[in-house]
Amino acid sequence: MSMIQTPIGKELRIFVNKESVVDVPLIIETDITFPLSSQFEAIMGGGDSKLLTIFGSLSKELFGKGFSGQFKQLGARIWSKTEPLNMSLTVGFYIDKRNPDAYSQVYEPTIKLAHLTLPTDDGVGGSLVAPGPTLISAIKGEKKGEGGKFISIEIGKILRIDSAIVTKAEPTFSNEVDSYGYPIWSKINLEFGSIVSATTSMLPLKGRGTSHGIGGNNA
């Protein structure tokens, strides 16, 4: 199989139970954009208190001095939650013309990525195994027990999600095929995200030349 040199910033790395899901580079073909958001709520419902306003009005009527019951401090907002990180990327696979093998270079890795969003049949009465981690694995942040897939994702040195789910996979195959009938190129759009709220650890700050691999030889 041909070894293709891929700039690290354009490479997506996906691990299932700390094993790389494919044996070929996952070359990102789209710009990398991901939303980060937190919600903050007012302590006292928007900066006013009806009860204080009533007392202030009564005080003015009875004693000639009163107050509005509205104070800027009551509008102070505190953090209530941070949303999980969700994003989408498109990855492309192409046959190597010098050493062509459309099955292993294009078809197989595309299908393996597509499998990440699908349940598997455990063979017992048609019961399905979830495409994401088990409940215990999600809580612990690592593979625990049997069943499910514990997925970790890296995008170059930009982003790391230690506990992820793949919510959508949309493959597109070339209508041009090799002599065995396999497509000579493919693209697959993946939508994925973190199971838990986004945190600063997903965007590591490390000096140049350092790595933060999840699995394999980069762990």
Give per-residue pLDDT as tens, 10-22. 889 999 988 999 9
Contact 194, 84 (CB under 8 A): yes
pLDDT band at 114 (very low <50, low <70, confident <90, very high): very high
Q: Alpha-carbon distance 5 to 139, whole Å?
A: 37
Res 101 pLDDT > 50? yes
Q: What tokens were used for 168?
A: 């959508």
Domain locations in the chain as residue ranges: 8-37+83-218, 39-79
What's the mean pLDDT in 21-35? 91
The whole-model pTM stands at 0.76
Percent of the chain with pLDDT over 90: 47
Question: Residue 122: its pLDDT value, please?
Answer: 72
Beta-strand runs (E) in 56-178: 77-82, 84-94, 120-121, 128-129, 151-155, 159-173
Res 95 pLDDT > 80? yes
Q: Alpha-carbon distance 169 to 114, whole Å?
A: 5
What's the mean pLDDT in 154-170? 92
Percent of the chain with pLDDT over 70: 73
Q: Of residues 104 and 130, which shows the higher confidence score?
A: 104
Q: What is the pLDDT of residues 41-82, one digit of tens each?
A: 877 654 456 666 676 666 666 676 655 555 566 667 889 999
